[in-house]
């Protein structure tokens, strides 16, 4: 029996300490651009092992600012895997750049060395008039993309790696935390309520490059510079060029700031990351055990030996043809029995906008195969240890087995 009347596929975990932190921020002198922002950035950077963290309004804003800070523009091409949320590709288009999609492993949904090289070959052979600017590998569901070879190839070509780590806070890859930017210029996170840590809405970019961090902070706040040592002059030639009130708009920026209220929640949530990570790992292990015992036409690929993921999604692969039901039917029957599910994701290269605008149009069989069978089952820390087995038992009933 399920521990709750309805298990969503994901949800936030909020307790009294989170509420207390937000109330403290509400009662302070600053509701935005204050000390909670600096504290959350400092503690987030320390948690992932990066020199800098820059918090922003959401994960999409983080991706956009990363592209802007790297100077991505209309003469550039960026490679993005097709199994991801649309923002991973849209961020390049926001800057006028072109996108070539790469295929993924049909069992994990991850970009591989081979699929990256296939996409790179298309960029360099068919679009040689454009610059290969970089790649946005996606650590899908919490699994980490192996980046050593991809990063090495990008370094040879003077191209960037920006990790889309929106699913992967807490994940370890070869003992190093995702977000430490061991193989990348930047890593991007999302703090949407269904993610491992939430700030309500919110996002962040981590980096080891202090100059990139400075650019990111300026771009998130209208492109303004407030440090007198960096002023270029307003043209007045007197104290109006250098007074304490003076700011200079030196770039076209955005209002992508994250308020102190959200950052206070983030500070509280970050303190619970060891618990969140342990619960997600425990629940995934219980799911794996239940699936093995159930003998269903449902598969789940164990993570690579050198990684220790904190899973954001319990995304399984179901052979819908074998059970004689469509995914829509299975999802509806699960919902009627109290189990919420979701599909992550429709391959981005299939989206109407990108069918018209992506370069290198071609079949991506791995992405299509992954999408055809994927289904995300409930996974969040407040589930009980009995829930995974109960979900799999209900799934077995729905499958008619």
Which residue matches tokens 């003992």? 175
Q: Is 195 a catalytic residue?
A: yes
Q: How far apart are the C-alpha atoms of 162 and 96, rounded to whole Å?
A: 17
Q: In b/e form, how buried is each residue of 249-278, taking b as 16+ CB within 10 angstroms?
A: eeeebbebbbbbbbbbbbbbbbebbeebbe
Rg, Å, the chain Cα set: 22
Order of strands across the sheet that contains 374-377: 298-299, 314-318, 374-377
DSSP 228: G
Q: How far apart are the C-alpha atoms of 90 and 234, rounded to whole Å?
A: 35
Using alpha carbons, select from 339, 324, 332 the residue that is nearest to residue 401.
324
3-state secondary structure of 316: strand
Catalytic residue among 51, 121, 174, 195: 195
- In angstroms, the Cα distances linking 182 to 154, 173, 179, 186, 209 are 14, 10, 8, 9, 12
Using alpha carbons, select from 304, 322, 305, 326 the residue that is nearest to residue 375.
326
Using alpha carbons, select from 109, 167, 139 the residue that is nearest to residue 367.
109
Residues with catalytic function: 195
């Amino acid at each position: 029996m399920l521990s709750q009347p309805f298990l969503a596929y994901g949800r936030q975990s909020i307790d009294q300490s989170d509420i207390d932190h937000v109330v403290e921020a509400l009662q302070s002198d600053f509701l935005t651009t204050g000390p909670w922002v600096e504290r959350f950035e400092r503690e987030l950077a320390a948690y992932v092992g990066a020199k800098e963290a820059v918090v922003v309004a959401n994960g999409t804003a983080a991706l956009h600012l990363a592209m802007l800070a790297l100077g991505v523009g209309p003469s550039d091409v960026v490679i993005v895997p097709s199994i991801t949320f649309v923002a991973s590709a849209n961020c390049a288009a926001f800057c006028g750049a072109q996108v070539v999609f790469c295929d993924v492993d049909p069992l994990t949904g991850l970009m591989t060395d081979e699929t990256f090289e296939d996409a790179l070959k298309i960029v360099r052979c068919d679009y040689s008039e454009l610059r290969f600017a970089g790649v946005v590998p996606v650590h899908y569901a919490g699994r980490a993309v192996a980046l050593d070879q991809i990063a090495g190839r990008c370094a040879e070509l003077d191209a960037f790696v920006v990790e889309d780590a929106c699913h992967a806070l807490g994940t370890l890859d070869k003992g190093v935390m995702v977000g430490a930017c061991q193989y990348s210029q930047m890593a991007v996170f999302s703090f949407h309520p269904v993610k491992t840590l939430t700030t309500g809405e919110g996002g962040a970019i981590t980096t080891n490059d202090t100059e990139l961090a400075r650019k990111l902070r300026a771009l998130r706040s209208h492109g303004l510079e407030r440090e007198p040592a960096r002023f270029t002059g307003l043209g007045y030639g007197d104290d109006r060029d250098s007074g304490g009130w003076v700011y200079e708009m030196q770039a076209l920026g955005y209002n992508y700031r994250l308020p102190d209220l959200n950052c206070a929640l983030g500070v509280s949530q970050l303190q619970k990351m060891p618990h969140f990570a342990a619960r997600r790992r425990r629940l995934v292990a219980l799911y794996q055990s239940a699936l093995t015992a159930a003998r269903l036409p449902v598969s789940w690929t164990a993570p690579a030996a050198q990684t220790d993921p904190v899973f954001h999604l319990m995304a399984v692969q179901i052979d819908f043809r074998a059970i004689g039901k469509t995914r829509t039917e299975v999802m509806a029957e699960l919902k009627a029995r109290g189990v919420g599910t979701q599909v992550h994701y429709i391959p981005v290269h299939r989206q109407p906008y990108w069918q018209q605008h992506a370069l290198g149009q071609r079949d991506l069989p791995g992405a299509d195969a992954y999408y055809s069978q994927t289904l995300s089952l409930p996974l969040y820390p407040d589930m009980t240890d009995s829930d995974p087995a109960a979900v799999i038992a209900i799934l077995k009933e729905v499958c008619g087995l």
